[in-house]
Chain A
Amino acid sequence: MSGNEAIGEGAIRADCTLYAGYPITPQNELTAFMARRMKESGRSFLQAESELAAINMVFGAAAAGARAMTSSSSPGISLKQEGISYLAGCELPAVVVNVMRGGPGLGNIASSQADYFQATRGGGHGDYFTPVLAPWSVEEAAQHTMQAFDLADFYRTPVLVLADAIIGQMMEAVELPEASRFSRPLPKKTWALSGAQGRRPNIIKSFFLEEGGLERHNEHLREKWEKLREKEQQSAYYGPETARILLIAYGSQARIAKEAVDLLTKEGMRIGLFRPVSLCPFPDHALKKHAKEKKMVLVVEQSLGQMVEDVRRVIRDTPVLFFGKTGGGIPSSQDIVSHLKKVLEK
């Protein structure tokens, strides 16, 4: 199956009850998959009139206590940012999928990783972060979607699955995760709108006019975020522990970087690949460990250099170089190898 379909299947297996989408390439297969699967399993599928409406339908379903998801690609995700900010402010759990394409503006429909800043820095207005998971395979696309629902419910937050056009479009054999519902015990949604029966009315809001009200609320969000930042960092490492050169890449670009590692290992280079799996929280702890005693670090992205800023924040005592292509350009494994050799010769 394709990555887009795997995301849909993950959502179905995670008991997603409402999906709202709007056509945009390169994620249309996901919307079409959900139209079929949500309807046949008696759940709610909505082709919304806009990205704004889609994210707010998800807001409503989440407010009513249901698991809900929307998906789009870069320009559409920009439109959803208003809603994501409200979800964060109202502490509503929801899953938002971005199958990234080129930008800025209408850009193109080729694969891109240029929405890293938008995804990992909140994206909308106000003081907040949302967890971001970046799958590097079709199988992981399904796993991350399921995991995103659990993270969302556990922390009462919107969660982003940040894929790209390559992950969305490519076909792979997949071992799908069990439809086991929860990877962890989740709190009951006592705050949800279900009718004020035998309790006081529930109110979903992000509006705090009283003096100090918003400050207290945002401090609460910060405390929650700090807990999440400590507990939810995820990463993977490929290569020998004795590596002297460290490549860092995520998503589809990590697949290509892995090939480069294999090519260079054959040539006798001691090199490894560090792959951030959670982009937010960024896997600071694991990266610090893997960056020890390295001669050089090379970050590879399909952008002009965004994640590299997080890497430079974490790694202070080793040179961190960047190699990337933008606007639909994809660094090939051979490009990475050549670039690395050129840099090492200097």
Chain B
Amino acid sequence: MSTQYLRPSSLRHRETHYCPGCGHGILHRIVSEVIDELDIRRTTAAVAPVGCAVVAYNYWNFDCSEAAHGRALAVATGIKRVSPDLCVFTYQGDGDLASIGLAETVHAANRGERLTCIFVNNACYGMTGGQMAPTSLIGQKTATTPCGRTPDTGEGWPLKISDLLAQLPGVCFVARCALSSPKEIQDTARQIKTAFQHQLDKRGFSLVEVLSPCPTIWQKNPVEAMAWIDTEMKKVFPPGILKTP
């Protein structure tokens, strides 16, 4: 008897371009494992974001489209409406989903589109050099908040988009998870599987927010970055199930 740890068939055998310690590699694999477990690789269409995961389609082994910055859920709506038998999901960062794409996000959710959204929250714009994101923490230093994010000077508060979306009747499932420990990585996989299952059961819009490390922009080593999720991010974005049918 031996235990084999194999690459999911939904994940291509390819080196990623992500920085050391980045969460995208882990999350790509989680999504791939879930799609394998649900046996929906051949009936899945994903919409990749603008951001570091813009070329996620180079790593995933299922149909995929790009979308303009922020428009992923509008594109996904179009796909799902004409192909209701496909499992359609978006994979979006905080800037994509909660800033430039806020209208598309809220309205796709409010229509109750049978879509799943994987929302990667790393509290910054990673690909463009670490600018303030709508989810950046108070006091967090970024390229555009060199003194730290200060609500008093008009930089606003961290936007808890998942909490907002959970209020909408069209939304059936919202969970917030983290990638900061093996236990939480396993929990993230469970929540993503649940979210997909709700779509397959035609229940409505489902979303999983994933607190994900960005060591390069945070200027921390990978271990410190994981610790920062636990000590700082979770205070503002506590993990848990925000809504379930």
A residues sitting closer than 8 Å to B (CB atoms) are 17-18, 20, 44, 46, 48-50, 52-54, 56-66, 68, 82-83, 86, 90, 193-197, 201-207, 209
Contact = CB atoms under 8 A, between A and B. Distances in A.
B55 interface: yes
B63 A201 contact: yes
A194 B83 contact: yes
Which of A54, A56, A205 is most buried by chain B, counting CB atoms within 10 A of its CB?
A56
A56 B68 contact: yes
Interface residues of B, number: 34
Contact of B64 (A68, A197, A201): A201
B177 to A, nearest CB: 26
Interface string B73-85: 0111111111100
Given A44-B81, A44-B82, A63-B75, A82 B68 contact: yes
28 contacts: A18-B78, A18-B81, A49-B103, A49-B107, A53-B71, A53-B103, A57-B77, A59-B75, A59-B78, A60-B74, A60-B80, A60-B81, A63-B75, A64-B82, A65-B82, A65-B83, A68-B82, A90-B65, A193-B64, A193-B79, A193-B86, A194-B83, A195-B42, A195-B86, A201-B64, A203-B63, A204-B65, A205-B57
A207 B54 contact: yes
A197 B41 CA distance: 8
B91 interface: no
Interface of B: 41-45, 47, 54-55, 57, 60-68, 71, 74-83, 86, 103-104, 106-107
B interface, over-half SS: helix
Given A205-B66, A207-B55, A57 B83 contact: no
Given A60-B65, A61-B82, A201-B60, A46 B77 contact: yes
A203 B75 CA distance: 14
A20 B66 contact: no
Contact of B74 (A17, A53, A65, A201): A53
A46 B65 contact: no
Contacts of B64: 193, 201-204
Contacts, number: 133
Contacts of A50: 103
A61 B55 CA distance: 21
Contacts of A201: 57, 60-64
Nearest to B87: A195
Contacts of A63: 65, 75, 78-79
A65 B78 CA distance: 11
A64 B78 contact: yes
B55 A193 contact: no
A206 B78 contact: no
Nearest to A202: B63
Contact of B104 (A49, A197, A204): A49
A58 B78 contact: yes
Nearest to A62: B78
Contacts of B67: 56, 59, 86
Contact of A66 (B63, B75, B82): B82
Contacts of B107: 48-49, 53
A305 to B, nearest CB: 33
Contacts of B66: 86, 90, 204-207
A82 B74 CA distance: 13
